[in-house]
Structures are given as structure tokens and as C-alpha cells.
């Protein structure tokens, strides 16, 4: 079966002597044109299906679904048997895309709109950060150190430059300045540490919320691909859904994306749809159970050079770094599309500690938000056979705090969750350390966010 336009493949570069991921831009008989080689016809024996690709293979006249398990340097791939590049071109075809979900998938136009909103949000935060009289530190390239100064001329509309007392008349890019941030505006990043200053008896009125809770649950489960699943993701999803019901949240307020519907653009589309229906007093709650991974940082915002990502498939069921939902895109979509008063993100997955990038002060400027992740960015999250460790610990925590229903803060819930996670870890086999994490953006206190999931 010939390759099809848009299909992801790997091309062998003889000059570099390595396989490079690309896509097909044109195809005929036994040659294709590639995004990496515009205008050049490439023989099919120079391309192969990438590892993890969900395909159909022709066996005795019948198309059978399977997955590419392994690849070799000579272009052969294994789906059980080994197939060389010419055999792949004749016997393989892309799997059928998953049918459209009732929620429209995210589009390039949606992405452009999100980035416009993010740009506006960041500029507004920038204007607040660098208003006239604000204390900042200026980095002198000549002396290679920072000097205290104050802003004398604020940013112009749409610009990211200011003037400071140390350099009168000179416009300086804000990237060359450090905002002297008050301690309460730096945000929270807790690694296996309790939320401080949690009241023993929180006030009902202080945590009451007149709005609704809108829940988006995402679980790829990977039932079509034995290399990736199913593990206990379905059991974890079911346990969390039971928790949502026991908390009194009606089914009409819950949206689920499962299996191949939980592809990258499906998740972003659902965030847009559910987030846009939230009212000014509502709470938006996002939950993900599935694989997590790291990938090379694309914009220089990560200290460790790695972005975090959810291992989402594409519509055809392929799973690789090209199909993952990257933390930058996830956070941008939530900030731009969710109109709720409070935002709660729960990710029970490996490498998920900073999945929301809440340390980006200008992105999350003024938002009441919290993320709870199963582990640090460099760790894995463990399953129990009945669901993820953190998911099941949340169910137990909700039961333990049942008397606090309607008066429980996110901070109080997290502190009890730490205890339950530590206790449950003693009952399962683990392959390494797993450290519960909590993040909030600058100016947001976890004790001020009502926690809706109490049984």
C-alpha cells in the first residue's frame, strides 16, 4: 500500500548516517517526496515506519491492526515478524483515524488564538511588573553582575522594553532585568513538603463557592498498543470517576476523553470547550492518568533543558514525541481558554512535577490555580494494580476528610494526601523514589482554593 500525504515516517540520511523523522508531502508508486527533502523523489527503501506507529498489515488478504515494536539501522521494523522498507511500503498502511469525538478537536486557528491571548496576558503582567517606580535589577554585560535600580519609563503598548534610572534614555529589554519579587508572589513549589499555615478549623464562608465544578478527565489507557498499556490506567480512571460522583458532582458536569479520543488535539479541544463554559465563580478540574515523559525543551524556559509531556497518541493511534502534549501547549491552552475562578490540575503520570509551568509568573498572572502531580520531573509514578498510587491515595484522603466537606482547602487536602501516599507506598513494590509535588502560581495560596473532591 503506497504511503499517504501527511503520514509520519523516518528517512535515512546517507550524509548523516541516521534516521530522521519527517512527513510525506507527495507519493507515487515506489517513491515519495518528504518535508525534509522538498522537491526530491525518494525511493521507498530509504524510508520506514517509526517505532510506536499504529498500523495495519496485510496478512493473507486481511488487514490486521498492530504496532511497530522495534526498528533496526538497516530500515527493518518488527511487528512480530521483521519487514524491510520495501515490504513496509507494499504490506503496511496507516491505521484508520479515530472517529471524531463530540467535542471538536483543536485546530491551527485555535492555536493561533491561544497564542494571541497568551501574548496579551503576558504583556499585561509585564506592565504590572515593570510599572514606573518598580524596583528591579539590571544586568551589566560589561561588569557581568546585577545592580539595583528602578523603572523610570514603563513599557510602551505591545513592547517589552523599559527605561531605568541607571541607564537614562536607553530602552532596555525586560529580559535583561530581574523583578524584585515579594515572597508571596514567587508561587509555590512543594516537593514532598506540607503546605504551611493550614488552619486547623477552616471557615466555611472563607472556602464556600457558589459556582459549579466542571471536570475534564483524560485517560489514553493504550488498549490498542500492548507496548504502552493498558497497565492500570482504566482502573485509575474508574476510581477517580467514583470519587467525583461521591463528591456530588453531577455527570452532566463531567467530560471524559478515553483511549484514542485522548489525542493531543482532542485534549486541547476539550480544554477549550469545557473551559469556555465555566462561569466566573466555577472551578475547572483537569485529571489525567497515563504515561508521562520528558522531551527536549523547545523555548529555553526549562532549567534542566527538558519539557514535560503527557504521552498522548494521535488520531491513528501512533505514540511518539511528535504526538505528545507538551507542557508549554497544555499550560497556554488552560490560561487562554479556561474562564473559571479556580483551576485545579491533577496529573498521575511520570515526569509530571511541573507539567503546568506555574513558575511562569507572567503567564499565570493573577490566576487562582494549583497543580498536584504524582512525582517530580525526573521520577516515575507507580501503579498499584488498581490505579495510580496518587489516584487511589486521593480516594482515601477524600474519605478521611469527609467531615470537612464544604470547608476543605486545597492545602489541607494536599497535606493529608501526603500522609496517604506515604502509607500506601509501604504496601506496593516500587522501582524508585516517587515524590508528590504541588505548584501554585505567584500570589496564589493553596489555602484559599476550595477543594471540591471530598467524599
Q: Return the higher-pLDDT residue of 281 and 226.
A: 281
pLDDT more than 70, % of the chain: 95
Put the strands of the sheet holding 82-83 in their side by side order. Answer: 70-71, 77-78, 82-83
Q: Is the pLDDT of residue 296 over 80?
A: yes
Other C-beta atoms closer than 10 Å to the C-beta of 191 total 12
Q: Is the pLDDT of residue 109 over 90?
A: yes
b/e string for 208-241 if b means 16 or more Cβ within 10 A? eeeebbbbbbbbbbbebbeebbbbbbbbbbebbb
* pLDDT value of residue 52: 82
* pLDDT value of residue 182: 52
- Cα separation, 346 vs 393, in Å, equals 12
Q: Is the pLDDT of residue 273 over 90?
A: yes
Give residue-wise pLDDT tens across range 250-271. 999 999 999 999 999 999 999 9
DSSP bridge partners of 342: 283, 368
Average pLDDT over residues 390-400: 96
Give residue-wise pLDDT tens across range 232-253. 999 999 999 999 999 999 999 9
- Cα separation, 420 vs 423, in Å, equals 5
Give the DSSP letter string of 286-342.
EEEES-EEEEE-SSS--TTSEEEEE----TT---STTTSEEHHHHHHHHHHH---SE
Q: Would you give the distance in Å from CA 153 to the centre of its chain? A: 37
Q: Is the pLDDT of residue 345 over 80?
A: yes
Give residue-wise pLDDT tens across range 163-200. 999 999 999 988 788 776 554 455 788 888 999 999 86
Q: Output the CA–CA distances (angstroms, integers) from residue 189 to 286, 310, 313, 376, 445, in the order listed.
A: 19, 20, 29, 11, 11
Cα radius of gyration rounded to whole Å, the chain: 25
Q: How confident is the model at residue 201 (pLDDT cuts 50, 70, 90)?
A: low
Q: Return mean pLDDT, the chain.
A: 90
* pLDDT value of residue 61: 83
Tell me how long the chain is: 455
pLDDT more than 90, % of the chain: 64
* pLDDT value of residue 205: 46
Put residue 89 in one of left, alpha, beta given phi > 0 → left and psi -120 to 50 → alpha.
alpha
Burial class (CB in 10 A: 0-12, 13-18, 19+), 23: middle
Q: Is the pLDDT of residue 423 over 90?
A: yes
* pLDDT value of residue 361: 83
* pLDDT value of residue 1: 54
Q: Would you give the distance in Å from CA 123 to the centre of its chain? A: 23
Torsion of CA 71, 77, 81, 82, to 10 degrees: -100
Average pLDDT over residues 334-354: 97
* pLDDT value of residue 46: 94
Q: How confident is the model at residue 207 (pLDDT cuts 50, 70, 90)?
A: low
Amino acid at each position: 500500500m503506497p504511503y499517504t500525504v501527511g503520514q509520519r515516517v523516518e528517512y535515512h540520511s546517507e550524509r548523516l548516517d541516521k534516521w530522521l523523522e519527517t512527513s510525506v508531502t507527495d507519493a507515487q508508486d515506489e517513491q515519495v517526496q518528504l518535508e525534509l527533502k522538498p522537491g526530491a523523489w525518494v525511493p521507498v527503501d530509504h524510508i520506514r515506519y517509526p517505532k510506536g506507529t499504529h498500523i495495519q498489515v496485510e496478512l493473507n488478504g486481511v488487514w490486521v491492526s498492530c504496532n511497530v515494536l522495534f526498528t533496526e539501522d538497516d530500515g527493518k521494523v518488527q511487528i512480530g515478524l521483521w519487514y524491510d522498507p520495501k515490504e513496509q511500503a507494499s504490506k503496511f498502511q496507516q491505521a484508520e483515524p479515530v472517529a471524531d469525538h463530540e467535542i471538536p478537536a483543536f485546530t491551527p486557528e485555535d492555536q493561533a488564538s491561544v497564542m494571541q491571548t497568551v501574548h496579551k496576558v503576558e504583556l499585561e503582567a509585564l506592565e504590572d511588573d515593570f510599572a514606573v517606580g518598580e524596583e528591579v535589577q539590571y544586568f551589566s554585560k560589561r561588569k557581568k553582575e546585577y545592580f539595583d535600580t528602578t523603572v523610570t519609563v514603563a513599557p510602551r503598548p505591545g513592547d517589552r522594553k523599559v527605561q531605568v534610572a541607571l541607564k537614562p534614555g536607553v530602552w532596555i529589554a525586560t529580559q535583561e532585568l530581574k523583578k524584585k519579587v515579594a515572597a508571596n508572589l514567587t508561587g509555590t513549589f512543594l516537593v514532598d513538603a506540607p503546605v504551611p499555615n493550614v488552619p486547623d478549623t477552616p471557615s466555611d464562608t472563607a472556602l464556600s463557592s457558589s459556582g459549579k465544578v466542571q471536570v475534564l478527565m483524560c485517560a489514553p489507557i493504550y488498549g490498542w498498543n500492548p507496548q504502552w498499556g493498558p497497565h492500570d490506567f482504566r482502573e485509575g480512571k474508574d476510581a477517580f470517576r467514583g470519587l467525583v460522583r461521591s463528591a456530588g458532582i453531577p455527570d452532566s458536569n463531567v467530560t471524559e476523553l478515553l483511549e484514542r479520543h485522548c489525542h493531543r488535539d482532542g485534549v486541547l479541544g476539550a480544554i477549550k470547550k469545557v473551559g469556555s463554559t465555566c462561569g466566573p465563580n466555577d472551578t475547572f478540574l483537569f485529571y489525567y492518568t497515563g504515561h508521562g515523559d520528558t522531551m527536549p525543551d523547545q523555548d529555553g524556559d526549562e532549567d534542566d533543558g527538558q519539557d514535560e509531556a503527557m504521552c498522548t497518541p494521535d488520531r491513528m493511534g501512533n505514540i511518539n514525541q511528535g504526538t505528545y502534549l507538551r507542557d508549554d501547549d497544555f499550560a497556554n491552552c488552560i490560561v487562554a481558554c479556561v474562564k473559571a475562578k479556580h483551576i485545579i490540575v491533577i496529573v498521575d503520570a511520570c515526569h509530571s512535577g511541573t507539567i503546568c509551568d506555574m513558575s511562569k509568573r507572567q503567564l499565570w498572572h493573577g490566576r487562582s490555580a494549583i497543580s498536584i502531580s504524582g512525582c517530580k520531573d525526573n521520577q516515575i509514578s507507580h501503579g498499584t494494580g488498581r490505579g495510580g498510587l496518587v489516584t487511589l491515595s486521593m480516594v482515601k484522603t477524600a474519605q478521611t476528610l469527609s467531615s470537612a466537606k464544604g470547608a476543605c482547602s486545597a492545602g489541607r487536602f494536599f497535606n493529608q494526601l501526603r500522609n496517604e501516599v506515604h502509607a500506601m507506598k509501604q504496601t506496593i513494590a516500587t522501582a524508585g523514589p516517587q515524590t508528590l509535588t504541588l505548584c501554585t502560581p505567584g500570589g496564589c495560596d493553596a489555602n484559599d482554593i476550595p477543594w471540591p473532591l471530598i467524599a
